[in-house]
Amino acid sequence: MRATAMATIAVAAACSSTPRSAGPGPGGGPPTASDGVVAFATVQAVLQHPRCQNCHPAGDAPLQGDDSHVHLQYVKRGPLGRGEVGQECATCHGPANPPSNYGLHIPPGVAEGWRMPPPEEPLVFVGRTPRELCEQLKDPAHNGGKDLGGVRAHLDTPLVTWGWDPGFGRAPVATPRAEFIAAFERWVAAGAPCPE
Ligand code: HEC
Ligand code: HEC
């Protein structure tokens, strides 16, 4: 009892003696719109990392490598995002990354099936300005009909988590995954503001 009373007094004293800060410091208060814009810069850097943007090109061919060159073998998106007949992604991309001892330049894979977004909804990351990227991410016509909670859930799926475990010889996304998720959630909590 006595300890609780002492603690209450201590907290009250701490509160009254701490000046109210002008804005939310790290970890305090809800994020403001400008905090959201800052957080979005982290999100943008991830979306436009080669591991992510190579499946989110402006055209109908996926891209490869850290220089995001056009995919060899004339591979194209196809009607469902799974490749043209005879050139399906799954012909070369299996259900997991092959073992490291297979060497470099081996097609990576994920359990849910390698594919790119379908043609009706080509969520484009390559060459988009931060503002365009931001508007597109919020637009259900481009994100699979999702609200931002749905987009957040998508970030835990194998196609996305693959970016941090991309197989032998490929650099993972530079931003740590936890930092990316925290930035995305902070951006949403700030009302998902887009940069100018
Ligand atoms: C192998 C190809 C591939 C890679 C690599 C990839 N994506 Fe995607 N992404 C897709 C496909 C396909 C969709 C469309 C939704 C679906 O089919 O699940 C999509 C959709 C999305 C969406 C929109 C939500 C939705 O359901 O449409 C976001 C956000 C996204 N990807 C983020 C990322 C991020 C972040 C990375 C990198 C860490 C990444 N993607 C890497 C294929 C890929
Ligand atoms: C004929 C075989 C083949 C087909 C078909 C194929 N790929 Fe690939 N893909 C490869 C190979 C091989 C690599 C590895 C290249 C390397 O590491 O230099 C690769 C790498 C990739 C990468 C690069 C990953 C990265 O970030 O560097 C993406 C993205 C990709 N493929 C998407 C697709 C999509 C989407 C399809 C179907 C529309 C597809 N591929 C169909 C053989 C294929």
d(C-alpha 38, C-alpha 166), whole Å: 27
For residue 4, what pLDDT is reported?
A: 45
For residue 60, what pLDDT is reported?
A: 96
- CA angle centred on 8, ends 6 and 9, rounded to 5°: 65
Kindly report the protein residue whose alpha carbon is nearest to atom 16 of ligand 2.
105
In angstroms, how far is CA 29 from the centroid of its own chain?
Answer: 25
Closest listed ligand to the CA of 91 = 2
Ligand 1 neighbour 163 (Cβ under 6 A): yes
For residue 3, what pLDDT is reported?
A: 47
pLDDT per position as a tens digit, 21-32: 334 545 568 899
Ligand 1 neighbour 39 (Cβ under 6 A): no
Average pLDDT, the chain: 89
Over the range 125-142, which residues count as b (16 or more CB within 10 Å of their CB) and which as e?
bbebebeebbebbeeeeb
d(C-alpha 18, C-alpha 27), whole Å: 16
The alpha carbon of 20 and the centre of ligand 1 are apart by a number of angstroms equal to: 42
For residue 26, what pLDDT is reported?
A: 56
For residue 19, what pLDDT is reported?
A: 37
For residue 21, what pLDDT is reported?
A: 35
Within the chain, which residues score under 70 in pLDDT? Answer: 1-28
Ligand 2 neighbour 50 (Cβ under 6 A): yes
- CA angle centred on 139, ends 30 and 56, rounded to 5°: 105
The alpha carbon of 123 and the centre of ligand 1 are apart by a number of angstroms equal to: 8
The alpha carbon of 58 and the centre of ligand 2 are apart by a number of angstroms equal to: 16
